[in-house]
Amino acid sequence: MSSLAQPIAAIATASGRASVGVVRISGQGLDSFCRELIGHDLTPRYAHYLPIFDGDGSLIDQGIVLFFNAPHSFTGQDVLEIQGHGGVPTMQLLLQRCLAVGKSVGLRLAEPGEFTLRAFLNDKIDLAQAEAIADLIDATSSAAAKAAAASLSGVFSNEVHKLSEQIVALRILVEATLDFPEEEIEFIEKYQVKQQLEQILKQMNQVLTTSSQSSYLKEGLKVVLVGEPNVGKSSLINAICGQDIAIVTDIAGTTRDRIQESLTLDGVPIFITDTAGLRQTDDPIEMIGIERTWQAIAQADVVLNIMDIRHRTSPLFSWPKKQEWRGKEIIHVLNKCDHLDKLDGILDGVDERSVILSAKTGYGLDQLKQKILQIAGRQVGEVSPWLGRTRHVAALGLSLEHLNNAAQHVAHDDKVLDLLAEELRLSHLALGEITGQVSSDDLLGRIFSSFCIGK
């Protein structure tokens, strides 16, 4: 009996005390198993209120029993669900009874994510939708939950399929012309290959941008505060988090190590780090703290470059031999505006990447939070169209790279169709990794092993 055909069972609800718990079984041909367990045949997709007895005839529990016959079920196989009282001993007794009855048909405990894996292997969902199930369970905010639900419904997969279809259509044209090399230039002009590629590239960039930004809902946005000592970094992290996280004093070098805190801004998880002030020092302990500041910058998505508005000096760009900030999203925070009598004239030279702020009074704090959300690709109250993962972003990036290579072959005077066809093929394969049209056993193992048991 193959692993896919072997019936599996698990408690599908979280461990602990609850009013309702669910035991789930999936397999091929569960009719005889159901008759032995329940005592009679079950009507598919009908809620039966029935008692469940142990092997010695004693009552284990009384609850709702549902039977879904293949292929009209989540896994595409026969599925039995027993909804009983959610106490841990009761759930364990129900599971043990199912395993005892199903011993003759090889019923075993399910592995993590195995129910969802079977749904994927039986073409009930694609790989991106399977991942969305785990993301929906693990969502830490309402925004992430809504985005994961959209991915589960197929919104993201549909965008990937549209791109795949356009690439496949172009591949067909190119590969059909490979046997006629003398017609390469005529073919490219006749079928407007350049224009088709430009349109696909435009859509690919849009999907990649949205996926990259929406991935922050799952992965979170890493924000680090940097600046000279006494510019108000610790006061700012306290203001952003709404509580006293860091010690605030007038003594330079008070913060000597990284201080990390997490919060949620309009549904986006934010991991914020306060760091040691950047300055030249001979203090060995402070030097270690400064090196850790640069490590935090290298790992960050967003750098808040904190400056005293009265001086506007920043070591971020002048620090010798430090490139960690290159390519980072940087917001210049001009702090301590409460020390000024008026702001007239102080706005000169302040661009859209800068925020005038007072960590002490809270002035400008909402504007700073909005700029952080804009980097995450969100406006206040905006709903993300789907939930991206790092894996999706990497696959889209690889697919885009091959499309750009294809566009370069088209642009050259010495147009070579076989190179164009190969780049289109590789671009299509990269997209296939997202939905599981192209996937390895190792990839599937890593994805589904992260699921909880019973899903």
Q: How long is the chain? A: 455
Q: Read off the pTM.
A: 0.76
- Cα 355 to Cα 227: distance, rounded to the nearest angstrom: 15
**DSSP string covering 274-333:** E-PPP-----HHHHHHHHHHHHHHHH-SEEEEEEETTT---STTTSTT--TTTT-EEEEE
pLDDT of amino acid 320 = 57
Q: Which of 275, 273, 258 is nearest to 223 (CA)?
A: 273
Question: Is a pLDDT exceeding 70 seen at residue 196?
Answer: yes
Structural domains present in the chain: 8-124 (3.30.1360.120), 132-216+389-436 (1.20.120.430), 225-375 (3.40.50.300)
Judge whether residue 70 has pLDDT over 90.
yes
Residue with more model confidence, 430 or 354: 430
Q: Across 164-290, where does the E strand assignment appear?
A: 221-227, 259-265, 268-274
Instruction: For residue range 21-53, list pLDDT tens digits in order.
Output: 999 999 998 999 999 999 888 999 999 999 999
Query: Helix count (H) and strand count (E) of the chain?
Result: 14, 12
Ranges 150-159, 164-173, 174-183, 199-208: which has the least confidence: 174-183
What is the model's pLDDT at position 293?
80
pLDDT score of 385 more than 60: yes
89 has a pLDDT exceeding 90: yes
* Interatomic CA distance for residues 304 and 331, integer angstroms: 5
> What's the mean pLDDT in 173-187?
65
Number of Cβ atoms within 10 Å of the Cβ of 310: 13
Q: In whole numbers, what is the pLDDT of the chain averaged over residues?
A: 84
Q: Identify the residue whose tokens are 């590629």.
A: 197
Query: Looking at residue 344, what is its pLDDT?
Result: 61
The residue type of 144 is A
pLDDT tens per residue, range 101-143: 999 889 999 999 999 999 999 999 999 999 999 999 988 778 8
Higher pLDDT pick, 308 / 49? 49
